[in-house]
Amino acid sequence: MRIKAQVSMVMHLDKCIGCHTCSVTCKSTWTNRPGTEYMWFNNVETRPGPGYPKQWEDQDRYKGGWEYKDGKLRLRAGGPLSKLKNIFYNPNMGTLDDYYEPWTYDYENLIKSEKSEHLPVARPQSMITGKYIDKPEWGSNWDDDLAGGSEIVPMDPNVQELQEHIAMEYEKTFMMYLPRICEHCLNPSCVASCPSGALYKRDEDGIVLVDQEECRGWRFCMNGCPYNKVYYNWNTHKAEKCNFCYPRTEAGLPTICSETCVGRIRYIGVVLYDADKVKEAASVEDPQDLYEAQLDCFLDPFDPEVIAEAEKQGINNEWIKGAQDSPVYKMAMKWKIALPLHPEYRTMPMVWYVPPLSPIMNHVTNEQELNTDGYIPAIDQMRIPVEYLASLLSAGDTEVIRKVLLKLTAMRVHMRSINVGGIDPLNESKLLDEAGMSVEDIEDMARLLGVAKYDERFVIPTGRREMDDDLHYEQGACSIEDLAPPEGMVTYPFERGS
Amino acid sequence: MEGIFWWVIFPYLTLAIMIIGSIYRFAYGQLSWVAPSTEFFEKKWLKIGSPLFHYGLLFAIIGHIMGVFIPIEFYHWMGVSDHLYHIGAIYGGGLAGLMVVVGAIILLIRKMTIDRVRVHATFADFFSVISLIIVAGIGVYMTLVYNLTVVEYEYRLTIGPWFRSLFTFNPQYELMLGVPFIFKLHVITGFALFASVPFTKLVHFYSVPVHYLGRSPQQYRSRVGYKRRGLE
């Protein structure tokens, strides 16, 4: 058992209002430099829709993630040999046009133009070439709130796989928001795709980072990541990606996207997992088993054996306590209401989503008289087809989605009976039985999802600086320490850094 | 005594600039040490030009090792006749050279005509591509035109031993004095190109990621105690 800690996030989609505050604060923190204008480490997509970059879920094209073939787990885009062969031209990589050409406006013209009959205008100007763009045809969130409607929606790869016809009439259609950051996967395919070894997963907190000094710009990470969340900076010619705001999380603060989330949809916490189990879990044959296999990798932070072993492997008490109080552990592992995005990519993503319950079934008109038997089939009649959610969050397994929606419905009914009343207690308990949750769990869940405060939503132990075990050595170290033997008394019989 | 400058001082000077400059840049300029791809801006022409150029260059390097590094005695010992060697060298080397030149010209035209690529191309970028076209162009001319129309020049008796003598620090510059002008020009422009390596994007050739083949797919790294690799 090799215990590692992972800082992880849950997003409760019911509460996302699609305001893009997360994207904007992230951008102004991390990607407001030349070369990064088109990058959104955090973006919010309207679904159904093609997403950003366009059709990123189309793995026949981008060949991201892993595939299980002939009893072996391998990169879909090909292993090291085929990568070296393709190093001069990567056939699967997207280009700027798959994202969008960033532009600004020629504001100066508003001030400097000569007096004329017509008002001066600020024309759009490309931030790549500096030329005027006469007619911008795509941009970040061009398709926000289903803009483009029936022309744009069918570009969604999930829609293309959906059996049933998606109604595009205003009264019948559906819509949801999907905020996306880097998944900081347990089995990251970007890391495995990097020929230079510049991408790595941090031992301490599982954050996946790009070493800017070692990156050589080979670009295989861009499409090797099935979520297309590694970007190419055309100015520095190096890869950049979401870094989970590690300077903030190390100080115990939430990421900037979470901190500024208006709907408070985001939760951050630590989970413990067994790194030895990851490869095996990513190699189960049926993609629909991947979700369960991933859950099997996580360790119970209350188990005395796990605690003892974690302490032995150098995970300190603060982090074990953090794993016990973790909102992510509760939602994803204990109550199982948060699901991984596209588990079929076999990367074991670590950003979890609570599927949206609303807009609630439109044929439930008289909720006071509705019995349990009425709620359960209603889940299948919801506006957002269960099949669509399943193709996003459970590799197409609708049963997983139904279970989560049932739990959320049970919570809704239970809380309604407390606050408003008028619900038959017998039916209510039948619904709770069906959802498989105790009253305590349901009430705990309602609190966490509804009214949890800052320190309940974000349980982030600080970076383990005391693990940088040379601190007192470094205080008295001389500047040529790697060349000369340490000065003064030798207090370290061991090799440093071991 | 002009021979001493061109065949002793100049090669050592350019190689010294290349080696010291590269080490300096590796030590202090990691952030600029990249293969500065523009595939993100344009794929269609790159798909033809880039593999043509790079694979051609790879074959050309192998050809130079065969022609200049490996002594003629080795071929005789192997039983390869001079005629057979030259057929291989002329057609194999000529093809590799043509790939380099054609590929580089495609890349140069692409660099000049595609807006997104041109705007971000630097002087050093153009310098590298154009000087590679010149060096490789001279190489193709002497391999295909000179060898076939003037004389099959036996450089394995002159340029080869001279080049190897540089590495034993006993440069036999007199070997180069009778070499045809076009071959001399190829050697001199080639060494000049070497000197430009640390100042251009050409440094990325040091970083061919061969270690990728043997490494574990997943990379964990602790915040402390990570040691950088040396030159790849």
On the question of pLDDT at A163 being above 90, the answer is: no
What local confidence, expressed as pLDDT, does residue A279 receive?
Answer: 95
CA distance A194 to A212: 13
Residue A179 confidence (pLDDT) above 90: yes
Name the residue of chain B whose CA is nearest to A470's CA: B224
CB contact under 8 A, B119 and A195: no
Domain count, chain B: 1
Tell me whether the omega of the peptide bond preceding residue A301 falls within 30 degrees of 0, making it cis.
no
B191 pLDDT more than 60: yes
Please indicate if any CB of chain B lies within 8 Å of the CB of A91. Answer: yes
Decide if B37 and A217 are in contact by the 8 Å CB cutoff. yes
Nearest CA-CA distance, residue A161 and chain B, Å: 29
| Interface membership of A495 toward B (CB under 8 Å) | no
Provide the shortest C-alpha distance from residue B46 to chain A (in Å).
7
CB contact under 8 A, A214 and B30: yes
A462 near B CB under 8 A: no
Across A120-124, A265-269, A426-430, B57-61, least confident range: A426-430
The Cα B221–Cα B162 span in angstroms is 47
| A36 touching B (Cβ < 8 Å) | no
Instruction: Indicate yes or no: CB of B37 within 8 angstroms of CB of A219.
Output: yes
Q: How far is Cα A41 from Cα A36, in angstroms, rounded to an integer?
A: 10
Instruction: Quote the pLDDT of residue A498.
Output: 37
The residues that bridge with A269 in the sheet, in sequence order, are: A8
CA distance to partner chain A, nearest, from residue B101 (Å) = 16
> ∠B84-B86-B91 over CA atoms, to 5°?
105
Beta bridge partners of A230: A241
Q: Which tokens is A410 given?
A: 């049970």
| Inter-chain touch A89–B51, beta carbons under 8 Å | yes
Other Cβ atoms closer than 10 A to A385: 20
pLDDT digits (tens, 9 = 90+) for A436-447: 899 999 999 999
**H helices of A243-367, where?**
246-249, 256-259, 278-282, 290-297, 304-312, 317-324, 327-328
Chain B residue with Cα closest to A202: B221
Does the pLDDT at position B148 exceed 90? no
Nearest-by-Cβ selection for B115 from A129, A204, A234: A129
CA-nearest of A249, A250, A226, A193 to A346 is A226
What percent of chain B is modeled with pLDDT above 90? 87
Domain containing residue B148? 2-214
CATH, domain range A1-100+119-366+451-467? 3.30.70.20
Residue B229's pLDDT band (boundaries 50, 70, 90)?
low
Q: Is A83 on the interface with B (CB under 8 A)?
A: yes
Rounded-to-integer distance, Cα B128 and Cα A388, Å: 52
* Min Cα–Cα distance to chain B from A474, Å: 13
Whether residues B212 and A195 touch (CB distance < 8 A) is answered with yes
Task: Give dist(CA A175, CA A167) in Å, integer.
Answer: 11
Answer yes or no: is B226 within a domain.
Answer: no
B224–A196: do the CB atoms touch at under 8 Å? no
The answer to whether A188 contacts chain B (CB < 8 Å) is yes
Report the pLDDT value the prediction gives residue A365, as an integer from 0 to 100: 59
Which residues of chain A are within 8 Å of residue B215 when distances are taken between CB atoms? Answer: 197
- CA angle, residues A240, A242, A247, in degrees to nearest 5: 105
- Of A166-175, A475-484, B55-64, the least confident: A475-484
Mean pLDDT of B219-226: 81
All residues of chain B having their beta carbon less than 8 Å from the beta carbon of residue A188 are 218
- State whether B219 and A200 contact (CB < 8 Å): yes
Does B2 have pLDDT greater than 80?
no
**Which of B219, B222, B227, B232 to mutate: most A Cβ within 10 Å?**
B219
Query: Residue B39 and residue A131: Cβ atoms within 8 Å?
Result: no
More confident residue, A151 or A449: A449
CA distance to partner chain B, nearest, from residue A431 (Å) = 44
pLDDT of residue A379: 75
* Cβ–Cβ < 8 Å for A277, A297: yes
Which residues on B lie below 8 Å from A202 (Cβ)? 220-223
Is the confidence at residue A25, as pLDDT, over 70?
yes
Measured in degrees and rounded to the nearest 5, phi and psi for residue B78 equal -70, -15
Q: Using CB atoms, which residue from B35, B46, B218 is nearest to A216?
A: B35
CATH label of the domain that carries residue B157: 1.20.950.20
Is the residue at B78 inside a domain? yes
Instruction: Please report which helix (H) or strand (E) contains residue B94, including its range.
Output: helix B82-113
What is the reported pLDDT for B29? 87
Q: What is the pLDDT of residues B63-111, one digit of tens each?
A: 999 999 999 999 999 999 999 999 999 999 999 999 999 999 999 999 9
Residue A151 pLDDT greater than 90, yes or no: no
Q: Over 90: is that where the pLDDT of A173 sits?
A: no
Report d(CA A74, CA A283) in Å as an integer: 9
Residue A478 clears pLDDT 70, i.e. is over it: no
